[in-house]
């Protein structure tokens, strides 16, 4: 079922809605990787504060929101590589979409906005996130052997790197 969401750049006024969607989508995505106690500390207000900071970054950073019936249901972001030895200049930082909207084509719309026209790029994704792995593979990304363990909300999460 394809749903044609409105995908547009993030606006300052989106911070509260984005914080709520961000917190919810992290619960939905990471509940099998992060303890319930840690996820319970995740605050939509804190996530909204992060969005206020991210929205103020320069033009080389792109952040998009997906809206259905005027409500934000997902978001994506990309920008310059954050590591010195990155395999590409552009990094996809994140795509998150509420579970209810998985399989509707909205994730693809968010991806295409953040990384347009087959642009060479790379990303890190949780090693134990098979749905995301399939999505990135469909979009021409391949595992490049990069792996790391990163702090995530005070716990550790294993990530793997994909490049295109």
Q: In the chain, what percentage of residues exceed pLDDT 70?
A: 99
The predicted pLDDT at position 58 comes to 72
Return all residues near 151 (Cβ < 8 A) that are at least 6 apart. Answer: 157
Rounded to whole angstroms, the Cα distance separating 47 from 131 reads: 24
pLDDT > 90? residue 152: no
> Residue 22 falls within a domain, yes or no?
yes
Distance CA 18, CA 142 (A): 29
What mean pLDDT is predicted for residues 49-60? Answer: 74
Query: How would residue 40 be classed by pLDDT, with cut points 50, 70 and 90?
Result: confident
Other CB atoms within 10 A of residue 60 CB: 10
157 found inside a domain: no
Which of 14-18, 52-56, 97-101, 148-152 is the least confident region?
52-56
Please report whether residue 141 resides in a domain.
Answer: no
Within 10 Å of residue 19's Cβ, how many Cβ atoms?
21
Residues 6+ apart with CB under 8 A from 66: 5, 6, 7, 72, 73, 74, 75, 76, 97, 101, 106, 109, 110
C-alpha triplet 47, 93, 144: angle, nearest 5°:
145
**pLDDT single digits (tens) 3-15:** 779 999 998 888 8
* pLDDT score at 30: 81
Task: Give the pLDDT of residue 135.
Answer: 96
Classify residue 1: in a domain, yes or no.
Answer: no
The DSSP call for residue 82 is: S
How far apart are the C-alpha atoms of 105 and 22, rounded to whole Å? 19
Q: What is the pLDDT of residue 63?
A: 92
Task: Give the domain extent around 59.
Answer: 6-118
Q: Is the pLDDT of residue 32 over 90?
A: no
Residue 49 has a pLDDT of 78
- Assess whether pLDDT exceeds 80 at residue 48: no
**Mean pLDDT for the stretch of residues 150-159:** 88
Question: If you ran DSSP here, which 8-state letter would residue 16 be given?
Answer: H
pLDDT at 59: 77
Bridge partner residues of 70 (DSSP): none
Question: Does the residue 75 lie in any domain?
Answer: yes
How many domains, the chain?
A: 1
Q: The domain spanning residue 85 has which CATH number?
A: 3.40.630.30
Answer with the residue of higher pLDDT: 44 or 146.
Answer: 146
Above 90 in pLDDT, residue 159? yes
**3-class DSSP state for residue 129?**
coil
């Amino acid at each position: 079922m394809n749903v044609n969401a409105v995908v547009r750049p993030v606006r300052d006024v989106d911070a509260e809605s984005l914080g709520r969607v961000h917190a919810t989508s992290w619960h939905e995505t990471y509940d099998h990787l992060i303890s319930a106690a840690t996820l319970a500390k995740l605050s939509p207000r804190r996530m909204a504060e992060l969005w206020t900071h991210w929205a103020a970054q320069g033009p080389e950073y792109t952040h998009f929101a997906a809206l259905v019936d005027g409500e934000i249901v997902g978001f994506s972001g990309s920008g310059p590589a954050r590591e010195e030895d990155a395999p590409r200049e552009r990094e996809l930082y994140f795509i998150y979409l509420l579970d209810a909207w998985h399989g509707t084509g909205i994730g693809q719309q968010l991806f295409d906005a953040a990384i347009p026209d087959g642009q060479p790029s790379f990303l890190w994704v949780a090693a134990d996130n098979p749905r995301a792995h399939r999505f990135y593979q469909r979009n021409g990304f391949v595992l490049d052997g990069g792996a790391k363990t990163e702090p995530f909300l005070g716990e550790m999460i294993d990530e793997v790197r994909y490049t295109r």
